[in-house]
C-alpha cells in the first residue's frame, strides 16, 4: 500500500512538472525573440509559380501590377542588375495618377510597446522611361489588410524622405527606421504614402518639360525585428568628464559609428582631433583581443562613384593603420562602400557630413 502511494505521488509530481515546463515553453515561443525577422519570405526567394506578378512569391500580394523577378530585368543595364541577394526581387511603379503597393501578413502580431527595427533595400531602374524619382518610400504597419481608400496615418509609418528624390546611385540604397508597436499591427504595406503622387516627384532632367512622369524602384531584402535594448548611455572618465562614445553592449552583429573622427577635407589623412576617440577604441580592443571587427568607410555623394569608393576605403584603412600602430592585435578587415549606404539625404552640408563616416562592425566576440 505504501509503495502504491509513493508511486502515485511521484507520477503526479512529474505530471505537474511536465505541465509547468510545457506552459513555459508555449509562453516562450509565443513571443518572437530579439532579432527574429517577422516578415515572411523577406527576399522573395520562395515562390509558388514562375509568374511575373508579386503574388507568385507567397504570401505577398500587390495593388496594381507589382512586378516579380526571378532573374535580372532585361531593361536594367546597370552593373548592379539583378537581386541584391539570391535571385528574386520585386519592382514598384509610380505615375502621377497611378501607384503600386505590395503587402503581406506578418508572421505574428507586433507586441505592444516593443521597438522594431525595419530595413529594406531599394534600387532605381535606370531606363529612358524612368523620368522622375520619388522623395519617399517606406512601410506602413496596420491592424487590417490593405484596402482601397485606407488612410495612412503618421503613427504607422516608417519611411525615408529625400527632398531631392531617392537616387544618387544605381546601387542598392538602405531604407531603415525604428517603429514602436501599439500591439494591433498584423500587416505590413510597402510603397509611397503621399496623398498626391505628383507632389512627391523630382525630375531627373529638370529641362524635360513634357516627358511622361514615371518612377520605378526595385525592392529586396526586407526585415522587421525587435530591437535589442542596450545601455548605450554616455560614460565619463574620472579625470575631466570626457564622454566615452563606445557602446556598452559590444557583441557580434553590432555596428556603430566612430564618433569625433575627422579627416582633412577630401583626403584620408586623419586629423589629431580624432586621436581621443580612436584611443578609446584601442582600449576596448586590447581588452578583448579575440574580438574580430570590420571597418566600413562611407562617403557622401559628390559625383564620381569610383572616387567615392576609393576615398572611403582609404579612410577605413587610415583607421586600421592607427589601431595597428597602437598595438591592437585583433583581426581587422577594412572596406570602402562609397556612397552606397547613406544615413541621410545628400541635399545639405549637415546631411552630407553624416554620410561621411567610418563604422565598426563586430564580426566575432
Residues 240-250, mean pLDDT to the nearest whole number: 61
String of DSSP letters for 149-194: T----GGGEEEEE-TT-S-S-SS-EEEEEEEE--S---EEEEE---
Q: How far is CA 110 from CA 58, 205, 220, in A?
A: 21, 42, 22
Residue 208 pLDDT grade (very low, low, confident, very high; cuts 50, 70, 90): low
Q: For residue 352, what pLDDT is reported?
A: 87
- Could you read off the pLDDT of 257-267 as tens digits, one per residue? 998 899 998 89
Question: All 3 cell numbers of residue 227?
Answer: 530591437
Q: For residue 77, what pLDDT is reported?
A: 87
Residue 15 has pLDDT above 70, yes or no: no
- Could you read off the pLDDT of 43-64 as tens digits, one per residue? 999 998 888 999 999 999 999 9
Q: Strand 292-298's sheet: what is its strand order?
A: 255-257, 357-364, 292-298, 332-336
Residue 30 has pLDDT above 80, yes or no: no
- Could you read off the pLDDT of 159-205 as tens digits, one per residue? 877 778 888 778 888 888 889 999 999 999 999 998 888 889 988 87
Which residues are CB-neighbours of 191 under 8 A, at least 6 positions away? 63, 92, 99, 100, 101, 102, 137, 138, 140
Residue 3 pLDDT grade (very low, low, confident, very high; cuts 50, 70, 90): very low
> What is the pLDDT of the chain when averaged over all its residues?
84
Beta strand 332-336 pairing with 292-298: parallel
- Domains parsed from the chain with CATH numbers: 54-226 (2.60.120.260), 235-364 (3.30.1330.60)
Residue 65 has pLDDT above 70, yes or no: yes
- What residues form DSSP beta bridges with 323? none
d(CA 185, CA 193): 17
Q: DSSP label at 124?
A: E
Q: Could you tell me which of 197, 229, 224, 233 has the C-alpha nearest to residue 213?
A: 197
Rg (C-alpha) for the chain, rounded Å, is 25
Query: CA angle at residue 151 from 190 to 342, to 5 degrees?
Result: 35
Residue 235 pLDDT grade (very low, low, confident, very high; cuts 50, 70, 90): low
Residues 279-289, mean pLDDT to the nearest whole number: 91
Q: For residue 164, what pLDDT is reported?
A: 80
Beta strand 214-226 pairing with 235-236: unpaired
Lowest mean pLDDT of 147-151, 251-255, 310-314, name the range: 251-255
Lowest mean pLDDT of 94-98, 141-145, 219-223, 344-348, name the range: 344-348
Q: For residue 108, what pLDDT is reported?
A: 96
Residue 152 pLDDT grade (very low, low, confident, very high; cuts 50, 70, 90): very high
Residue 21 has pLDDT above 50, yes or no: no
Residue 362 has pLDDT above 80, yes or no: yes
Q: For residue 346, what pLDDT is reported?
A: 76
Residue 295 has pLDDT above 90, yes or no: yes
Which phi and psi (to 5°) does residue 10 adopt?
A: -65, -45
Query: Burial level of 272, CB count in 10 A (0-12/13-18/19+)?
Result: exposed
Q: For residue 58, what pLDDT is reported?
A: 92
d(CA 301, CA 71): 29
- Could you read off the pLDDT of 72-127 as tens digits, one per residue? 999 998 888 999 999 999 999 999 889 999 999 999 999 999 999 999 999 999 88
Q: Could you tell me which of 240, 277, 282 has the C-alpha nearest to residue 259?
A: 277
Q: For residue 22, what pLDDT is reported?
A: 43
d(CA 245, CA 242): 9
Residue 29 has pLDDT above 50, yes or no: no
d(CA 13, CA 9): 6
Q: For residue 229, what pLDDT is reported?
A: 59
Query: CA angle at residue 17 from 14 to 18, to 5 degrees?
Result: 85
Full-model pTM: 0.61
Q: Which residue has the higher pLDDT, 34 or 44?
A: 44
Question: All 3 cell numbers of residue 153?
Answer: 496615418
Q: Which residue has the higher pLDDT, 340 or 224?
A: 224
Residue 365 has pLDDT above 80, yes or no: no
Residue 17 pLDDT grade (very low, low, confident, very high; cuts 50, 70, 90): very low
Query: Burial level of 243, CB count in 10 A (0-12/13-18/19+)?
Result: middle
Structural contact between residues 37 and 224, judged by C-beta atoms closer than 8 angstroms: yes
Question: All 3 cell numbers of residue 207?
Answer: 529641362
Amino acid at each position: 500500500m505504501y509503495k502504491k502511494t509513493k508511486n502515485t505521488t511521484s507520477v503526479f509530481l512529474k505530471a505537474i512538472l511536465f505541465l509547468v515546463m510545457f506552459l513555459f515553453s508555449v509562453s516562450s515561443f509565443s513571443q518572437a525573440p530579439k532579432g527574429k525577422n517577422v516578415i515572411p519570405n523577406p527576399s522573395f526567394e520562395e515562390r509558388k509559380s514562375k509568374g511575373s506578378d508579386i503574388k507568385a512569391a507567397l504570401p505577398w500580394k500587390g495593388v496594381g501590377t507589382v512586378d516579380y523577378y526571378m532573374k535580372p530585368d532585361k531593361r536594367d543595364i546597370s552593373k548592379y542588375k539583378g537581386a541584391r541577394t539570391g535571385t528574386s526581387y520585386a519592382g514598384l511603379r509610380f505615375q502621377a495618377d497611378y501607384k503600386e503597393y505590395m503587402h503581406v501578413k506578418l508572421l505574428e502580431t507586433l507586441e505592444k510597446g516593443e521597438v522594431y527595427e525595419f530595413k529594406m533595400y531599394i534600387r532605381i531602374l535606370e531606363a529612358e522611361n524612368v523620368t522622375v524619382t520619388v522623395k519617399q518610400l517606406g512601410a506602413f504597419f496596420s491592424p487590417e489588410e490593405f484596402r482601397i481608400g485606407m488612410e495612412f496615418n503618421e503613427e504607422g509609418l516608417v519611411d525615408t524622405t529625400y527632398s531631392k528624390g531617392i537616387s544618387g546611385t544605381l546601387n542598392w540604397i538602405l531604407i531603415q527606421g525604428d517603429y514602436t508597436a501599439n500591439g494591433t499591427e498584423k500587416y505590413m504595406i510597402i510603397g509611397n504614402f503621399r496623398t498626391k503622387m505628383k507632389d512627391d516627384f523630382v525630375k531627373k532632367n529638370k529641362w524635360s518639360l513634357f516627358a511622361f512622369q514615371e518612377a520605378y524602384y526595385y525592392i529586396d531584402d526586407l526585415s522587421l525585428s525587435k530591437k535589442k535594448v542596450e545601455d548605450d548611455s554616455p560614460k565619463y572618465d574620472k579625470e575631466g568628464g570626457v564622454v566615452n562614445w563606445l557602446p556598452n553592449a559590444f557583441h557580434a552583429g553590432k555596428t556603430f559609428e566612430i564618433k569625433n573622427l575627422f579627416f582633412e577635407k577630401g583626403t584620408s589623412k586623419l586629423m589629431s582631433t580624432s586621436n581621443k576617440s580612436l584611443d578609446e577604441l584601442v582600449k576596448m580592443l586590447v581588452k578583448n583581443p579575440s574580438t574580430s571587427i570590420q571597418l566600413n568607410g562611407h562617403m557622401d555623394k559628390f559625383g564620381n562613384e569610383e572616387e567615392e569608393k576609393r576615398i572611403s576605403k582609404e579612410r577605413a584603412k587610415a583607421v586600421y593603420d592607427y589601431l595597428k600602430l597602437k598595438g591592437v592585435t585583433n583581426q581587422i578587415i577594412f572596406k570602402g562602400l562609397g556612397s552606397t549606404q547613406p544615413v541621410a539625404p545628400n541635399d545639405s552640408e549637415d546631411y552630407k557630413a553624416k554620410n561621411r563616416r567610418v563604422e565598426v562592425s563586430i564580426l566575432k566576440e
